[in-house]
Structure 1
Amino acid sequence: MRILVIGSDRKMFDESSAVAQRQIDYAGISNNLDIVVFSASSLQLKTTKLSENVVVYPSNSFSRWLYIFDAFRVSRKLSKPDLVSVQDPFESGLAGYVMGKYFGVPLQVQIHTDLMSSFFFRDSLLNKIRFYIAKFIIPCAKSIRVVSQRIKKSLLAVYPKISESIIQVLPVYMDFEKIRSAQIDVDLHKKYPQFKSIILMASRLTKEKNIDLAVDAMVEVVKKFPNTGLIIVGNGSERERLGWRVEGLGLQKNVIFEGWNNDLASYYKTAELFLLTSNYDGYAMTIVESLTAGTPVVMSNVGCAGEVVVDGQNGLIFPVGDLDRLVGCITKMLSDPELRNGIKLGAQKMVWQTNKDEYLRLYRRSWETTLG
């Protein structure tokens, strides 16, 4: 089975990254994996051979407006695949649709974000355009892989003619045992001894993550719990603006930004709670990682909320954008050790996933469904 994958995750060129390692695993259940990644020519990325049967090709585009054209240019030079798999139903979806027609092979669409959320549509002009691209691409797919039941339900509601049998719910694989058994190399309380309680966030600092809401909540939280710290791990386009906002609110002693850290297990295990404030999310892997580490979570009603996180059992869920409810959830968690311990026990009991071999079997089945 030869698979042509089209996407935009440039971490695939980093052989040590988790996403690159996943592609190598996927190649073990196929004969060949050719991956074309949207990339600017200024990045000077080179064709990378991850293993004997996995090769990653950059589009090397002069402009993002040429991504689709350049993906076609690169892909048509490759051997004919058995199917085309795209990592989103947007720009990648369009490129994959064209390549599927060019080679005369079926299309698999993967969906990692909740594109049917009204917050997704309102987020930007680009998202509005992407929404309408997806409305064209999704019905053209022979099979669809989504990362949460939330996305599956929203697709079936919007596209009633799509057969439920072609939609497979399969989150990104996670090595739970690695997180559970990880040693604590960095204790947040030793690193930041000024804080009695530590709230952790780990996220791209982008608009849809709504970090502003967390910062606004801290204004109220520190009034009741002045020795509370919010540690935000991540990078992104909003970093500088958020820093100025924190200073403007006089929270620079309570809100600390760190760059991205690939090994978050120690952070999860030494924080009092993990916080997610996204306006929309496909799954929210950091939430599942936190639960695996035994850390109570407070999250907006997105992604795996209601599916993995059950309100009051292994976390607390608040409505998207609701500042008062968020403040209430945080203060409730910090002020009630018994509740926090109960939720922590719930977190340790609730998280589960198939082992790696079973996961790869399910992943291969998604390709077989595409082939019909």
Structure 2
Amino acid sequence: VKKYSNVELWIVGEGEEKEKLLNLCYALRVTRYAKFLGWQSNVNEFYGKADAFLLTSHSEGWGLAVVEAARCGLPIIMTNVGCAGELIVDSESGIVIPAGDQEKLEENMVKLIEDKELRSKLGENARQAVLKLPSIAETLNLYKKSWENALKFRK
């Protein structure tokens, strides 16, 4: 922490781990570096100010927060859950680590802190990956076609 005293970890959202994380920050005496921001209605404000995005979930749906962060061009470190491997491809559009691997998380956080070029490359590649996703209208049209095809075979 002393080596990176200008770095802050912003924790946005609420969850069952919050109390445990707060206690850990107090025990490690790093509360001035970790900001617990709670639930936020406008996360884009934080994406615009952040240098990177971390998702350390042990399980996740597809991962809308990752898509939002990628859309904002943030380099992403995430566990191998949700859209890992689809939208976020390790070493291309982000860094994907095994869920629960604290050592890999720390190693890759340091890598992003120290390597501005890597942050830029991964962030831009993540943004480009999001731009390739179908729009809401295109997605709805695909669903519609799928249902129409299913109904044809039902008859």
Q: Say yes or no: TM over 0.5.
A: yes
For residues 91-149 of structure 1, give each alpha carbon's deviation from its aligned partner in whole angstroms, at most 9, with x where no partner exists: xxxxxxxxxxxxxxxxxxxxxxxxxxxxxxxxxxxxxxxxxxxxxxxxxxxxxxxxxxx
Is residue 2:84 matched to residue 1:305? yes
Aligned-pair distance for 1:356?
2.6
Matches within 5 A, 1:208-219: none
Letter in 2 for 1:259: G
Contact 2:70–2:76 (Cα < 8 Å) also in 1: yes
Give the secondary-structure state (helix, strand or coil) at the position aligned to 1:245.
helix
2:136 is aligned, of 356, 360, 365, to 356
What is the distance in 1 between the residues matched to 2:86 and 2:33? 32
Q: What amino acid sits opposite 1:304 in the alignment? A: C
Residue type at the aligned position of 2:133: Q
Task: Identify the residue that residue 68 of structure 2 maps to in structure 1.
Answer: 289
TM-score by length of 2: 0.87
Please name the residue that 2:98 is paired with.
Answer: 319
Between Structure 1 and Structure 2, whose CA radius of gyration is higher? Answer: 1
Aligned residue pairs, count: 151
Judged with a 3 Å threshold, the aligned counterparts in structure 2 of structure 1 residues 332 and 292 are, in CA distance, closer, same or farther, namely same
After superposition, give the CA deviation of every residue in 1:45-70 in whole Å (9 maximum; x if it has no partner): xxxxxxxxxxxxxxxxxxxxxxxxxx
Match of 1:314, SS state, is coil
Distance (whole Å) between structure 1 residues aligned to residue 127 and residue 79 of structure 2: 20
Give 2:137's aligned amino acid: D
For the residues of structure 1 that align with 2:95 and 2:42, how far apart are their CA atoms?
25
**1:64 matched residue in structure 2:** none
CA deviations over 1:244-281 (Å, ceiling 9, x no partner): 22212211111111121122112112101000111122
- Equivalent position of 1:272 in the other structure: 51
Structure 1 stretches of 5 or more lacking a match? Answer: 1-221
Deviation string 1:328-365 (CA, Å, 9 cap, x unpaired) is 11100110111111112212222122223222122334
Structure 2, unpaired ranges of 5+: none
User: Post-superposition, which runs of at least 4 consecutive aligned residues in structure 1 deviate over 6 A?
Assistant: none
Match of 2:107 in 1: 328
Residues 1:254 and 2:33 are matched in the alignment? yes
Alignment of structure 1 residues 1-372 onto 2, 5 Å: 222-351=1-130, 352-368=132-148, 369=150, 372=154
In the alignment, the residues of structure 1 paired with residue 85 and residue 136 of structure 2 have an alpha-carbon distance, to the nearest angstrom, of 24
What's the secondary structure of 2:60's corresponding residue? coil
Q: Secondary structure at the match of 2:86?
A: coil
Contact 1:269/1:294, CA 8 A, preserved across alignment? no
Q: CA separation of 1:318/1:237 partners in 2, compared to 1, >3 Å: closer, same or farther?
A: closer
SS in structure 2 of the partner of residue 282 of structure 1: coil
The Cα RMSD (Å) is: 1.9
State how far apart, in whole Å, the 2-side matches of 1:338 and 1:354 are.
29
Q: Secondary structure at the match of 1:257?
A: strand
Deviation at 1:311, TM superposition (A): 1.4
